Each structure stands twice: as structure tokens, then as C-alpha cells.
Amino acid sequence: MPLDDALYERMGEPDFWPRYLFEDGWDGEDSDGEDEEDDEDAVEAYRAEFGLGDGPSLVLDVELDNEYVGLGLRLPGQGEPVELGWDDQAHFHPHVMRWAELELLARAFALHDPALRHPGPVLALLARFVVLDEGDTADVITPLVDAAFGLVRPGGAAPGGAGVRAETRDWFELRDLRGTGLTWTDEGRRSAVGQPDDPRTIRPLYSLRQPGAEAFPFEGWDELLARAAELVGTAAADPALDGPGVRAALKRCTGARGYAAVGGLADALRAAGYGGSGAEVLLRALETPVSRAEACWAVETIAGLAPGTVVRRWFGRSPLTDARHWDLLLTLPADVPGATAHALDAALRAAGLGWAEIAGSTSTKGPDGTYRTVSTTVDIRVRDSLEQGVTAVTEVLRRFDAASTAELRHEAAPHERIALD
């Protein structure tokens, strides 16, 4: 099983996803309430491997104590996997794959291993290694990400202000590089991603998969994708799909209200003798789906339709399609209490307006050679209403007598200043 018992059980504990997703809400204690920082010998690490047989496989390394998640590609006949990317709180390089590539792999892994329901653990664990580009739309993405987190973390997060789960919106905004000049180039089969070198970009690309990169295993990656496409494609090649009863049932399912007809499609498929690799996984997704999104990908796969085709019809317009956010920088003088940043974060989250976190500090060297902090910088994300977000920030700063000395600016050039009054 790709997810061994230890990791599978750990994923079900309340503190796993806050720690895995680097959410600020984790309080530094494990699920038993013990402070792991006091235990110098505690090293909590897990490894999961996702493959499709004897070819290349994805290897996910999770080190909760070190706030590190790494993704590698194990090639046949080799020992340790080749590094594809990693995510941490320091020098991250998480931009490994496109959304379409992750969706294809997640479908193939689910067909290969029935324990990996889709959308589910693969999507939830590996979504952090996606980079979204101009070809991606929230309409076809957010229903699946919502369903994945809903399966692995039921009740673990309240819906975000825009009508999707909080994890989904956080992830979408973090991996969204649309509008930053992102381009994909194909050098033979070496599909690589690049971005213009512009110091004004506040959403830079951090990827090992750039043009000319020698360390990225392009050939092995392409082989894994090709195997996945072949496995998914076989589901639409079964002769049982040619029967008139199945074709009629598929037509009903691919419409705007097709979800109501998936049970009839399953009956038609069984009556026609639909079988082969992955057939039982797809039939289960139609007969007893955990979410509407699970039945949706099964219909798309069986019908041989491009991923997202039926998602648009069943789910309609995503709440994130028209959602807006603003990235701000707040500078606080050194005499402002450190609790101010935490109060800002709590106020913004409680109002569904965003979040705040300390980004760093500025120090100066005194005549005696010692350094003293002169200011603290706080990153602020305001969602949906800039006016309401600034009002919430101002109210908190007034409580700490900091509204007149703090400085709030837009992070993007030309870094316009925002009045705090």
C-alpha cells in the first residue's frame, strides 16, 4: 500500500493537516498534547510511494518536525529517488507539475490501487507541488481539490469566505502564477517551465524543471505520465462501451444534471459486462461515490472526455473565479508588542477577510556593537474587500496604540501606501 499504516493513521489525526500544510493554527503540540520540541529524539518522518507497476514512481517524504515535504522520482534500477522539488519554510522549490499532470496521475494511481480514491489522498498530498498557469481555471479545479480535502480532512476546516474550503482557497492563491509571464517550452519531450526575470514579480517561480536543467529527470517524468495516460485510456476502450444502453446512459450522465443518472450508468455497464483494469474502481465511484467529484471523474474517464469537461457542467462557475485578494506589507516599530501580528491574523481570519503573519524584522548595529530591532514586517493577505480588510487591520492597530506609527503598503510595485485612520 503506497500509504503505509503509520502515515494513513497519522493523516486522520487532528494536527496532521495543519502541520503538513504549514498552517499557523498548529500550536506546537502533537495529538497527545505533548510538546515535541522538548523531546530532542523525536523525529516524525514518513514516506509514501505512488507507482504504476515496474516503471518510475513518485516518492513523497514528509518531515513534520522540520516542516519539510519533498517529492522525488524513483527510476527503475536506481536506489534513492531523484529530486523533483521540495516545500519548506525557507528555500522552497515546489513548482513541479501542471494541474493537468497531477490530475492524470491521481486518476491513474486510483485505478491502479483501489485504496487511493480520487479525489482524495494523492490530490491532497501532492497539490502543493502544482503550479497554475494561464490554461488553468478555478471552475475545473476547485471542486476536485475541495472533494480531496473533504475526504482526508472531514470537518477539519470551515469553508472559506468565497464558498470553498479554506485549504482550497489557500492552496489556489499560493500556487496561482497566472499573469506572471509563466511559459512552458518543449525541448523534444522535455517539457520545462520558465518565467521572465522581473524583480517586481511578487509571485516568482521556484522550480527545478526549468529549460536547460540537467538535474531534473525529464525522461523518467515523461515515462510516468505516458504510463498514466495509457492506463486511464484503457477505461474508455472496453468493447462494452459500444452497446446502445451504455451509450444512452453516458449521454445522460454528461449533461448538466448528469449526477442523478450515474446509478443507471453503473447498471448499464455491469449489464454489458464492463470489466478490465480499473473497472471495479470506476463502478464503485458511480455506485457509492464519496463525493460528487468522484462520480464526475469516473464519467469523464469512461466517456473518454477531457478532464474538466463534465466538472464544468455539474458544478458550474467556481466561487474563486471572480474572487480577489490583495497582498500588503505592514511595518511595525520595535516598540509595538509582538502580539499585534497574532491579533491581526486572528481578526482577519475570524472575519473571513484573510490572514497575517510575521515576515521578518530590521535591525541596526549600535555603537557598542550590539544589534537592536527597529521594526517588524508583517505579510497581510486581504480577501474580497480591501476596504473591510484595512478597517479590520486599523482596528487592531488602534488596540495596540500602533495605528499612528505603523505603515501599510501594497506589496506589488509601486508599493502604494494605504492610510490607517
pLDDT tens-digit series, residues 44-64: 999 999 999 999 999 999 999
Which pLDDT does position 3 carry in this prediction?
82
> Does position 70 have pLDDT exceeding 80, yes or no?
yes
pTM, full prediction: 0.90
Mean residue pLDDT across the chain:
91
User: Who's near 117: CB < 8 A, 6+ residues apart?
Assistant: 110, 151, 285, 290, 294
Q: Residues 234-263: what's their mean pLDDT? A: 95
Q: Answer with the residue of higher pLDDT: 272 or 335.
A: 272
Start and end residues for every CATH 3.30.70.260 domain found in the chain:
325-418
pLDDT at residue number 29: 46
Give strand pairing partners of 97: 130
**By mean pLDDT, which of 53-67, 252-266, 267-281, 359-373 is the weakest?**
359-373
Q: What is the mean pLDDT of residues 415-420?
A: 95
pLDDT band at 199 (very low <50, low <70, confident <90, very high): confident
Within 10 A of 258 (CB to CB), how many other CB atoms are there?
Answer: 20
In whole angstroms, how far apart are CA 224 and each of 103, 207, 227, 387? 13, 19, 5, 47
pLDDT at residue 122 tops 90: yes
User: Do the Cβ atoms of 102 and 134 come closer than 8 Å?
Assistant: no
Of 14-18, 30-34, 270-274, the poorest mean pLDDT is in 30-34
Instruction: Provide mean pLDDT across the span 126-152.
Output: 96
CATH fold label, 325-418: Alpha-Beta Plaits (3.30.70)
pLDDT at 346 over 50: yes
Per-residue model confidence (pLDDT) at position 421: 74
Burial class (CB in 10 A: 0-12, 13-18, 19+), 388: middle
For every residue of 213-224, DSSP letters joined together read: -SSS-HHHHHHH
pLDDT given for residue 34 in this prediction: 47
